[in-house]
Amino acid sequence: MEATIESGQRAFRWPYRHDETPSAANGPPTSPTNKEPTYLVYDQERTFGVTSENAVLVRVILPGQHFEDDPLEELEGLATTAGITVVAGMTQRREKPDVTSFVGKGKLEDLKLLVDTHDADVVVFDNDLSPAQTRNLEEALEVKVIDRTELILDIFATHAQTYESRLAVELAQLEYSLPRLKRMWTHLSRLNMGVGMRGPGEKQLEVDRRLVEKRIHDLRTELNRVERRKERQVAARGDHMTVSLVGYTNAGKSTLMNALTMANVLAEDKLFATVDTRTRRWQLPHWGPVLLSDTVGFIRDLPHRLIASFKATLEEARQADLLLHVADVSSPAVFDQISAVYDVLQEIGIEEKDTLLVLNKVDAIGSNGRLDGVLRRYPNAIAVSAATREGLDKFAWTVSDTLSRSFHDVDIETGVENGKLMAFIAAHSEVLSKRFTDTKVTIHCRLPQKYLGRINTSEATIRPHESNGPAASDPIAGEPAGTVGDVA
């Protein structure tokens, strides 16, 4: 039996079968006639963990779980992204999973027949399996068995490009593998101790567990450092309004970003084509430039350990002034996908942030009936097509209006010599007019709430615009006194 845990540039591989001869790139060769397995832990380049294998897909549908036409459609998409060739599939409805094998005894026999008939190399479950269930299934089916979480982790490991995302994936994989080390070592033999070192020794399993636990500790330490650096990096963009794209995987976020910013980021019609965050400048009409970020896609039952590990990558969404929730309106499961994204947003603590729902791929809808049905449930949503650019002008105006809600229509009066403040206002607000006297200038502008407190009230007077607020002599109502001596 063999298992490989891909983790960045490092991989832990457990034992060769007795008839396997590894290549030089994978470690020292062993004789094919040697019936004793060789056990190695070594470094190797990142590879596709399940590439070029024939797979049978399995989903156990439990009470409360919903699906549209094909319950295996999403799992098949994940398998295709991972490079697996799907040869067959089966589903089963159960009140609760079987403790031993997750599926029932009769279905297990049917699954064995499917595996043998199609000469499958791996069985992929669209459920989360316990280590014992995985081990029992592998013994019964005599092929490798992986669950939904392991498949998603494999995809993330393949597509992660940035340093922080590779760290996050490696940590999530090792945390997943730690309780499963036992099934990777069935021999539990003692290490041979040299002369003068004889004794009970130590199980190889314990050696591997200690190696993995140390690596997990090192990764968490490094990720904490990366997270703090990322927080500082994102916070340093406080001079710009920030907008983040979030949504279900393959909803068209990267395509939308390309259409809005000409960013030329990778956009493919497959699940988790990109798992890294990209930020580009977006010029909004009658507004100015904002920073637009494309974040990792979400999915139903996204592994919790993966969400925790990707905290640094999701920092863009956490710090954004506005979230653009992109949904694939052409998908039969659009309502479930929208709910799944809101669940993930709640889990990472940003569900209360201002969010605009964007219904993408209207060009792929056969009739307007589906779009009308979604708009009835979400009347404030904006329908667009990133591929054909349909509706993008209205969408940009809507984003501008949504961002404007946090703005104040104010008059700021200061001395004509205060060039630093006037430059600050010009950079961070929409200047509507200026009125000059011999020594004073009154600037009518629309200024974001977050910048009001950065103006020193000993050098300037801030009040609501005269046509909308109190008398010109009254300071702006409800605003704290200025706390910034000099405009940063």
Which range has the worst mean pLDDT, 12-21, 210-219, 431-440?
12-21
Contact criterion met (CB below 8 Å) for 218 and 18 = no
Which range has the worst mean pLDDT, 90-94, 115-119, 174-178?
174-178
In a domain, 424, yes or no: yes
Mark whether 300 and 439 lie in a shared domain: no
Mark whether 415 and 395 lie in a shared domain: no
For 302-360, strand residue ranges (E) read 322-328, 355-360
Mark whether 427 and 448 lie in a shared domain: yes
CA nearest neighbour of 215 among 477, 407, 11: 11
CA nearest neighbour of 3 among 168, 134, 102: 134
Mark whether 128 and 257 lie in a shared domain: no
Mark whether 258 and 389 lie in a shared domain: yes
In a domain, 252, yes or no: yes
Mark whether 312 and 437 lie in a shared domain: no
Mark whether 129 and 251 lie in a shared domain: no
Q: Which of 159, 178, 200 is at the close of a domain?
A: 159
Contact criterion met (CB below 8 Å) for 404 and 286 = no
Residue 178 is classified by DSSP as: G
In a domain, 445, yes or no: yes
**Tens-place pLDDT, residues 460-486:** 888 888 764 443 334 443 343 333 333
Q: What's the CATH code of the domain at 119? A: 3.40.50.11060
268: left (phi over 0), alpha (psi -120 to 50) or beta: beta
Task: Give the number of other Cβ atoms within 10 Å of residue 17's Cβ.
Answer: 10
**Tens-place pLDDT, residues 127-174:** 989 989 999 999 999 999 999 888 888 888 877 777 877 888 888 888
Which range has the worst mean pLDDT, 115-119, 125-129, 271-275?
271-275
Q: Is the pLDDT of residue 196 over 50?
A: no
Mark whether 155 and 300 lie in a shared domain: no
The confidence score (pLDDT) of residue 271 equals: 64
In a domain, 265, yes or no: yes
| Domains: count for the chain | 3
Mark whether 383 and 444 lie in a shared domain: no
Q: Which of 159, 177, 203 is at the close of a domain?
A: 159
Strand order in the sheet with 85-93: 85-93, 54-61, 122-125, 144-146
Rg (CA), the chain: 28
In a domain, 38, yes or no: no
Domain that holds residue 283: 242-404
User: DSSP readout, 242-274?
Assistant: EEEEEEBTTSSHHHHHHHHH-------SSTTS-
Contact criterion met (CB below 8 Å) for 183 and 134 = yes
CA distance 16 to 37: 6
Contact criterion met (CB below 8 Å) for 216 and 266 = no
Mark whether 361 and 421 lie in a shared domain: no
Q: Is the pLDDT of residue 385 over 80?
A: yes
Q: Which is higher by pLDDT, 241 or 378?
A: 378
Mark whether 109 and 86 lie in a shared domain: yes
In a domain, 15, yes or no: no
In a domain, 35, yes or no: no
The confidence score (pLDDT) of residue 237 equals: 63
| Longest Cα separation, the chain | 98
